Chain A
Amino acid sequence: DQQVKQNSPSLSVQEGRISILNCDYTNSMFDYFLWYKKYPAEGPTFLISISSIKDKNEDGRFTVFLNKSAKHLSLHIVPSQPGDSAVYFCAARGGNQFYFGTGTSLTVIP
């Protein structure tokens, strides 16, 4: 039972444009959300997080939005760069567990 879902397995965006990666979750008790980036042959790298008491968190080119009523999380990358091409995982914390999505592969086209 996938409690965190990333329904788009892949996304292609032109360099300089905005990349929007989406994540949906089912458990309203999740209180902390994270995004990780993963390059091939490497482990995931923490990117940005947001607590459930906020609806937006910004760090440079990366912004995470949380819509609790819709149980929806999104990551915006502006402007997108070729080095952003990677697989992005969203994760949510509930109780004593983290739940990860299946990932979205982002390709930024130069």
Chain B
Amino acid sequence: KAGVTQTPRYLIKTRGQQVTLSCSPISGHRSVSWYQQTPGQGLQFLFEYFSETQRNKGNFPGRFSGRQFSNSRSEMNVSTLELGDSALYLCASSLISRDTDTQYFGPGTRLTVL
């Protein structure tokens, strides 16, 4: 069974731009969560999607948004990029819920904001 895939793997943007990251979960998994990893903060939860609906949300500004499609693939969008948005963005999928099922992480998208 293929794992979680994320595209692109690396991205360089400038301040003020927007970016869209994509995540394809493991086949059959319906829950997709997004995390931001920075050296000083560890992994911070952004949001979780299930059945095309945002189920949970972390403490990030509204510039961070996401969506999930009927095939469970998910996209994350960051608008008006800031230097501090430079991070590794990880997507994780689980069968039904990240609360009760093991999360499987993708390799991440490394975003650099110049």
Interface residue ranges, A against B (CB under 8 Å): 2, 4, 6, 36, 41-46, 89, 91, 93, 96-103
Contact = CB atoms under 8 A, between A and B. Distances in A.
A44 B4 contact: no
A2 B40 CA distance: 10
Given A96-B56, A97-B58, A46 B42 contact: no
Nearest to B106: A43
B11 to A, nearest CB: 15
A96 B99 contact: yes
A97 B56 contact: yes
Which one of B4, B35, B58, B99 has the greatest number of beta carbons of chain A within 10 Å? B99
Nearest to A43: B105
Contacts of B42: 2, 4, 6, 89, 100-103
Contacts of B41: 2, 102
Interface string B86-98: 0000111000001
Contact of B92 (A2, A43, A89): A43
Nearest to A44: B105
Interface of B: 4, 35, 39-45, 56, 58, 90-92, 98-99, 102-108
Nearest to B99: A93
Contacts of B99: 93, 96
A41 B40 contact: no
13 contacts: A2-B41, A42-B107, A43-B91, A43-B105, A44-B90, A89-B43, A100-B35, A100-B43, A100-B45, A101-B42, A102-B39, A102-B41, A103-B42
The 8 closest A-B pairs by CB, nearest first: A43-B105, A100-B43, A102-B42, A100-B42, A96-B56, A44-B105, A43-B106, A46-B102
Contacts of B98: 98
Contacts of A36: 105
Contacts of A45: 104-105
A45 B106 CA distance: 9
B104 to A, nearest CB: 7
B107 A46 contact: no
